[in-house]
Amino acid sequence: MYLLEQLINGICQGSIYALMAIGYAVIYGVVGLVTFTYGEIIMMGSFSAFYYFILFGDNLFFALIAGFITAAVVGIVVHKVCYQRFLDAPRYISLICTIGMSMFLKNFATIVFGSEMKGMPAFFAGKFIEIGTIRVGYMQLLIIGVVIALSLVLTIYLKKTRMGMKLRAVSQDKKAAALVGINVKTTTLIGNCIGCGLGGVAGILLGVYYNSVLPTMGGMAGLKAFSSMVLGGLGSISGAAIGGVLIGVVENLGIALTSSGLRDVFAFLLLVLVLVIRPQGLFGKKGN
């Protein structure tokens, strides 16, 4: 029973990781590159919600939308600065540019928002469903619900709409996509925005779940998103989601059995183990 409760904690945290990883996978797909700015985008999303709550009151739904838009706008900036100008240049230039952008955003946030931790309002405090001896908080249910809903919307968007098809085409092969008349630049921009927007929403969920936002919160969040994606298999969106949930569950069960100090040990041990046994990730294709 107790482990089941920890399992639910893990799924809840894991679903936030999953959302971050899905966004990351979308970006990786269209850009074709690992980004190091993603953690900071998550942080910006979180801060936009923090200020939304101050300015317009505690409405989580609109805050999520505000966070999506803010993160997408930051995504446009990242795209303009780091990707667009270097499309034909060696790939590592964009890569290093994202590292620079990450440092810039972190320090920018520290200067503008202040370095101290800020509290987020609590939603559904003390409300939970009791099944036997297990307690599941409303907040946890809400987080899992939001993540599932967004994943479904994204899947439908990618599979059923024309734009989604273009995104998938660009992810698979940029040159071939250009040959059949897809505007690769615009599509990459849109894909990047969607990925960043999802990251922003995940940032808000993270902030609300942890009750805190901080300019340096992006580092570990970005790393977890990246790990989840690698665990699931590079470029596989459903793989990324499962990777995220897995990392969350393993972390929480690890804490349940040992101590919170070892959280990241479990998360990254899992990653290393999977990569040793299956280098392409759980759901990746060989040769990717």
Shorter beta-carbon distance to another protein: residue 40 or 251:
251
Which letter does DSSP use for residue 81 in this model? I
Minimum gap (Å) between residue 121 Cβ and another protein: 8
Minimum gap (Å) between residue 261 Cβ and another protein: 5
Of residues 239-278, which lie at the interface with another protein (CB under 8 A)?
Answer: 251-252, 255-256, 259-261, 263
Helix (H/G/I), strand (E/B), else coil: 53: helix
Helix (H/G/I), strand (E/B), else coil: 172: helix
Based on the shown chain and the rule CB under 8 A, indicate whether residue 77 belongs to the binding site for another protein: no
Minimum gap (Å) between residue 41 Cβ and another protein: 18
* Selected range binding another protein among 47-55, 92-100, 112-120, 173-181, rule: CB under 8 A: 112-120
Shorter beta-carbon distance to another protein: residue 86 or 210:
210
Phi, psi (rounded to 5 degrees) for 137: -70, 150
Which letter does DSSP use for residue 134 in this model? E
* Selected range binding another protein among 8-16, 142-150, 223-231, 277-285, rule: CB under 8 A: 8-16
Based on the shown chain and the rule CB under 8 A, indicate whether residue 13 belongs to the binding site for another protein: yes
Q: Where are the alpha helices (DSSP H) in the chain?
A: 2-31, 38-56, 60-78, 91-113, 138-160, 162-172, 174-179, 184-210, 218-232, 237-257, 263-277
User: 230 with 29: CB under 8 angstroms?
Assistant: no
Shorter beta-carbon distance to another protein: residue 135 or 285:
135
Exposure string (b/e) for 103-119, b if CB count within 10 Å is 16 or more?
Answer: eebbeebeeebeeeebe
Q: Which residues, at least 6 apart from 178, have a Cβ–Cβ distance to it below 8 Å?
A: 184
Helix (H/G/I), strand (E/B), else coil: 235: coil
Of residues 123-142, which lie at the interface with another protein (CB under 8 A)?
Answer: 124-128, 135, 137, 139
Shorter beta-carbon distance to another protein: residue 75 or 248:
248
Binding test (CB under 8 A) with another protein, winner from 115, 161, 172, 288: 115
For residue 138 the two structure tokens come to 């409303």
Based on the shown chain and the rule CB under 8 A, indicate whether residue 227 belongs to the binding site for another protein: no
Based on the shown chain and the rule CB under 8 A, indicate whether residue 85 belongs to the binding site for another protein: no
**How many CB atoms lie under 10 A from the CB of residue 87?**
13
Of residues 56-75, which lie at the interface with another protein (CB under 8 A)?
Answer: none
Binding test (CB under 8 A) with another protein, winner from 150, 217, 245, 247: 217
Minimum gap (Å) between residue 8 Cβ and another protein: 9
Q: Which long-range contacts (CB under 8 A, 24 or more apart) does 82-89 make?
A: 82/35, 82/37, 83/31, 83/33, 83/188, 83/192, 84/185, 84/189, 87/185
Binding test (CB under 8 A) with another protein, winner from 2, 160, 175, 286: 2
Residues that bind another protein (CB under 8 A): 2, 5-6, 9-10, 12-13, 110, 115-119, 122, 124-128, 135, 137, 139, 209-212, 217, 220, 251-252, 255-256, 259-261, 263
